[in-house]
Amino acid sequence: MRSMVRMGALLALGAMLLAPASAMAADATQEAILKKLDALQNRVTYLENKLSEAQQAARDAQNAAMEARKTSGTSLKMSQEIAKTRSRQPEGLLTEAGKRLKIYGAVELEGTYQNHEPKQGEGTTDSDLSIATAEVFFDATINKYVKGLVHLLYEGEGDAINVDEAFILVGQTDDMPFYFLGGLMYPAIGLFETYMVSDPITQNVFETQATAAEIGWSQDWFNVGAGVFNSSVHQASDAPDNNLNTFYVRAQFDAPEGALGEGVDLNFGAAYTNNIAGGNLGDEVAGEQLQDMVGGLSLMLNAQYKWVVFNAEYITALDDFQAGELSFAPEKGKPYAYNLELAFLPIEDWTFAVRYEGGGDLGDYEPDQQYGFTVAWDFLPDTTISLEYLRGTYDNDDERDLVTTQLAVAF
C-alpha cells in the first residue's frame, strides 16, 4: 500500500513537471511560427516594393523612349527643353558624389544617299557615312534651386569636339517658379520638335545659339521668358557693335499630363525676336551687317491623342532684308519656313512619321517644298534604327532625293 502511494506521488510529481515543459515547448513553437510569419511578411513587402519600382522604371523608360523618338534625328538641346513646363530629361548615370551629377548622351551613325537633278544639265549623286552626332551631357544639381549643365557635341565636322551648351539655371521649381537661365544655350526662338531623322528646314534656317541671359516664370499650364544676347549680326550704322543688340520674348502653354484626359497632350507657344538673323540665317549675311535689324516671329504646336502626334511650326522674318544682304537672295525678300509632321506610334517600339515642309525667299539655301517619311524601330533597349526618304524642290526648279539611314544609341 505504502509503495502504491509512493508511486502515485511520483506520477503526480512527474505530471506537474511535464506540464510546464509542454507549455514551454508550445510557446517556443508559436514564437518560431510568428517569427517565420514576420519574416515572410517582410519578404512579401520587399518583393512588392521591388515590383512597384520595376513598374515605375518601365513607365519611365516608356516616357523616355517617346521623348527620344521626338529627337531621334537631332541633338537634344536642353536649354530649349527648359522652355517647356513639363520637360522630361533623361535619367542618366548617377555618380556617387552625393548623387547630384547625371551623365547621359547619344551616338548616331548615319548613311546618306543624295540625287540632285538640276532643271538644266546633268544630275549628280553622292553618298556618305558619318557620325552625325556624338554627345555627352553633364547635368549637375548643385542644390535645391540651382542646376548647371555642360553639353559636349561632335557632329562629324573635322576633329573638333565643341561645347554646345554650358549654362546655369536658378529656380524653375515647384516652390520657386521664377527662374534665371544664363550661359551658352539655344534661346527658344522656335522649338523644332520632330520624329524624323533629318532636322526640319525651320531649324536649318532659324535655329539660334548664343551666350544669353534669360529670366522667366514657369508653372503648370503656362510659362514665359525673355532674354538678351549680343549677336555678331548688327546694323551697319552701329559698327563696330560691342553691345547687347538682340532680345527675344516667348510664351508657352503646356497642359499638365492627364489634365485634358487620358492620352491627350497639348503644347503651343509663340516667340518674337528683334533680330531673326541672330541664328543660322546670320551665316548668310554679308559682312554680318544689315541696313536695319529684321525682326522675326515663331509659332509652334504639338498635339497628341493616344498614339497619334501632330507637330506644326512656322517661323518668319517680319520685314524685308535688302537686296544683297543675304548671300542666296540677290533681291530683297522676307524668308520664312514651316514644318508639318504627323507621327504614328501604334505598335510598341515602332514609330512612323510623315513630313511636309517648305519656305519662301530662301533661294537655293533650302528647298521651297519638301515631303517624306521616316520609319524607326527600337529593336533593342536604347537602340534605334531608322530609314528616311525626303523629296525636295527648290526655287530654281532643281529637285533632290535624299535617303538617310541611322543607327542611334542613347546612354
- Confidence check: pLDDT of 26 > 70: no
Number of compact structural domains in the chain: 2
Considering the domain architecture, whether residues 35 and 94 belong to the same structural domain is answered as: no
Confidence band (pLDDT; 50, 70, 90) for 52?
low
Instruction: Identify the pLDDT of residue 91.
Output: 59
Residue with the larger pLDDT of the pair 56 and 219: 219
How many Cβ atoms from other residues are within 10 Å of residue 84's Cβ?
18
Instruction: Identify the pLDDT of residue 62.
Output: 44
Per the CB < 8 A criterion, the answer to whether 180 and 171 are in contact is: yes
Confidence band (pLDDT; 50, 70, 90) for 68?
very low
Instruction: Identify the pLDDT of residue 390.
Output: 98
Taking the C-alpha atoms of residue 232 and residue 213, their distance in angstroms, rounded to an integer, is: 16
Instruction: Identify the pLDDT of residue 48.
Output: 61
The DSSP symbol for 288 reads: G
157-161, 168-172, 187-191, 205-209 — which is least confidently predicted? 157-161
Confidence band (pLDDT; 50, 70, 90) for 279?
very high
Q: Of 23, 49, 70, at which residue does a domain stop?
A: 70
Bond from prior residue into 240 cis (ω within 30 degrees of 0): yes
Per the CB < 8 A criterion, the answer to whether 177 and 217 are in contact is: yes
DSSP string, 343-388: EE--STTEEEEEEEEEEES-TTSS-SEEEEEEEEEEEETTEEEEEE
Considering the domain architecture, whether residues 189 and 49 belong to the same structural domain is answered as: no
Considering the domain architecture, whether residues 34 and 96 belong to the same structural domain is answered as: no
Residue with the larger pLDDT of the pair 77 and 73: 77
Question: What burial class does residue 172 get, using C-beta atoms within 10 Å of its C-beta: 0-12 exposed, 13-18 middle, 19+ buried?
Answer: buried
> What's phi and psi for 67, nearest 5 deg?
-65, -40
| SS3 category, 9 | helix
Considering the domain architecture, whether residues 167 and 199 belong to the same structural domain is answered as: yes
Confidence band (pLDDT; 50, 70, 90) for 153?
very high
Q: What is the dihedral of CA 193, 199, 205, 211, to 10 degrees?
A: 70
Q: Of 70, 87, 103, at which residue does a domain stop?
A: 70
Considering the domain architecture, whether residues 187 and 166 belong to the same structural domain is answered as: yes
Average of per-residue pLDDT values in the chain: 85
Considering the domain architecture, whether residues 14 and 155 belong to the same structural domain is answered as: no
pLDDT tens, position by position, 382-391: 999 999 999 9
- Confidence check: pLDDT of 151 > 60: yes
Instruction: Identify the pLDDT of residue 27.
Output: 59
Q: What is the mean pLDDT of residues 264-268?
A: 94
82-86, 165-169, 188-192 — which is least confidently predicted? 82-86
Considering the domain architecture, whether residues 392 and 379 belong to the same structural domain is answered as: yes
In terms of residue numbers, what domain contains 118?
Answer: 75-410
Instruction: Identify the pLDDT of residue 61.
Output: 44
Considering the domain architecture, whether residues 66 and 200 belong to the same structural domain is answered as: no
Considering the domain architecture, whether residues 45 and 139 belong to the same structural domain is answered as: no
Of the candidates 400, 395, 263, which has an alpha carbon nearest to the alpha carbon of residue 326? Answer: 395
Residue with the larger pLDDT of the pair 162 and 18: 162
- Confidence check: pLDDT of 284 > 70: yes
72-81, 96-105, 263-272, 321-330 — which is least confidently predicted? 72-81
Which cell is 193 given?
520638335
- Confidence check: pLDDT of 66 > 60: no
Q: What is the mean pLDDT of residues 179-195?
A: 94
Per the CB < 8 A criterion, the answer to whether 177 and 218 are in contact is: yes
Instruction: Identify the pLDDT of residue 99.
Output: 61
- Confidence check: pLDDT of 251 > 70: yes
Report the b/e string of 302-324 with b at 16+ CB within 10 A. Answer: bbbeeeebebbbbbbbeebbeee
Of the candidates 210, 318, 222, 238, which has an alpha carbon nearest to the alpha carbon of residue 273? Answer: 318
Report which secondary-structure segment, H or E, holds 249.
Answer: strand 246-254
Instruction: Identify the pLDDT of residue 378.
Output: 96
pLDDT tens, position by position, 324-375: 999 988 889 999 999 999 999 999 999 999 999 999 999 888 999 999 999 9
Considering the domain architecture, whether residues 384 and 280 belong to the same structural domain is answered as: yes
Instruction: Identify the pLDDT of residue 222.
Output: 92
Taking the C-alpha atoms of residue 406 and residue 387, their distance in angstroms, rounded to an integer, is: 7
Considering the domain architecture, whether residues 148 and 257 belong to the same structural domain is answered as: yes
Considering the domain architecture, whether residues 252 and 393 belong to the same structural domain is answered as: yes
Instruction: Identify the pLDDT of residue 77.
Output: 87
- Confidence check: pLDDT of 39 > 60: yes
Beta bridge partners of 151: 137, 165
CATH number at residue 175: 2.40.160.10
Model confidence, pTM? 0.80
- Confidence check: pLDDT of 71 > 50: no
Beta bridge partners of 254: 221, 267
Q: What is the mean pLDDT of residues 22-26?
A: 49
Taking the C-alpha atoms of residue 355 and residue 165, their distance in angstroms, rounded to an integer, is: 28
Instruction: Identify the pLDDT of residue 257.
Output: 82
- Confidence check: pLDDT of 1 > 50: no
Q: Of 70, 89, 111, at which residue does a domain stop?
A: 70
